[in-house]
Amino acid sequence: MRKPARLFFTLLLTALPAILSAQTPADSVRILDNLKFNVRTVTGDEVNFGTYLGKGPLLVSFWALWCEPCKQEMKAFKVLTDRFISEGVHMVAINTDQVRSVAKVRAFVATQRLDFPVLLDPDGDIARDIFSMESLPYSLILMPDGSVYSKHIGYTAGDEQATEKELVELIAKLKQKGG
């Protein structure tokens, strides 16, 4: 073997462990920068939305107290997320009622025993500027990186079947991609 080629392979073999360990693990996800915003929860805590991403499909449900279909959709989606939690599916609800209604929203969440994160968007900035909400109810299935897999506008009982089918498809795609 010629000297330059031998030197190249020697350097490559020496550097290979460092190169391999510096690679990003296959299961890590780069979260879209516009989804790393801070938001208040219904309990008053400040969280970064990006912390809800990267674990699996995220079902995001925008709702308001005055919107009965929104509340029905949330209940149906809660059943779905409970069914698929072992597959990494989680849910976040984002309330769009105005600031003066926060106490009522908090009471609703408590009486309904909603055990998923409920975030507040009283100015509608998150719904409008980040997620391009068109009208309520408005829901999205987000990929682990935060990109939109599907969106739904409106809700009628039974619509959750289409959402369930999309979740099953996305879970299968993510498993195929990961392994």
DSSP 26-66: TT-----GGG--EEEBTTS-EEEGGGGSSSS-EEEEEE-TT
Is residue 78, in this structure, part of any structural domain at all?
Answer: yes
Rounded distance, CA 113 to CA 96, Å?
Answer: 19
Kindly state the tokens that stand for 175: 């498993």
**What is the model's pLDDT at position 1?**
55
Q: CA angle at residue 145 from 67 to 59, to 5 degrees?
A: 25
Is residue 27, in this structure, part of any structural domain at all?
Answer: no
**What is the model's pLDDT at position 14?**
43
**What is the model's pLDDT at position 22?**
36
Which residue range forms the structural domain that includes residue 55? 38-178
Rounded distance, CA 110 to CA 104, Å?
Answer: 10
Is residue 162, in this structure, part of any structural domain at all?
Answer: yes
- At 49 the three-state DSSP class reads helix
Is residue 109, in this structure, part of any structural domain at all?
Answer: yes
Is residue 171, in this structure, part of any structural domain at all?
Answer: yes
At residue 40, φ and ψ (nearest 5 deg) are -90, 145
**What is the model's pLDDT at position 27?**
45
pLDDT tens for the 179 residues of the chain, in order: 555 545 444 443 444 343 333 333 334 557 778 888 999 999 999 999 999 999 899 999 999 999 999 999 999 999 999 999 999 999 999 999 998 899 999 999 999 989 999 999 998 899 999 999 989 999 999 999 999 999 999 999 999 999 999 999 999 999 988 74
**What is the model's pLDDT at position 3?**
57
Is residue 149, in this structure, part of any structural domain at all?
Answer: yes
**Are 1 and 26 spatial neighbours (Cβ–Cβ below 8 Å)?**
no
Domain count for the chain, please give it.
Answer: 1
Is residue 9, in this structure, part of any structural domain at all?
Answer: no
DSSP 90-120: EEEEEE---GGGHHHHHHHHHHTT--S-EEE
Is residue 76, in this structure, part of any structural domain at all?
Answer: yes
Task: Please report, for the domain that includes residue 67, its CATH number.
Answer: 3.40.30.10
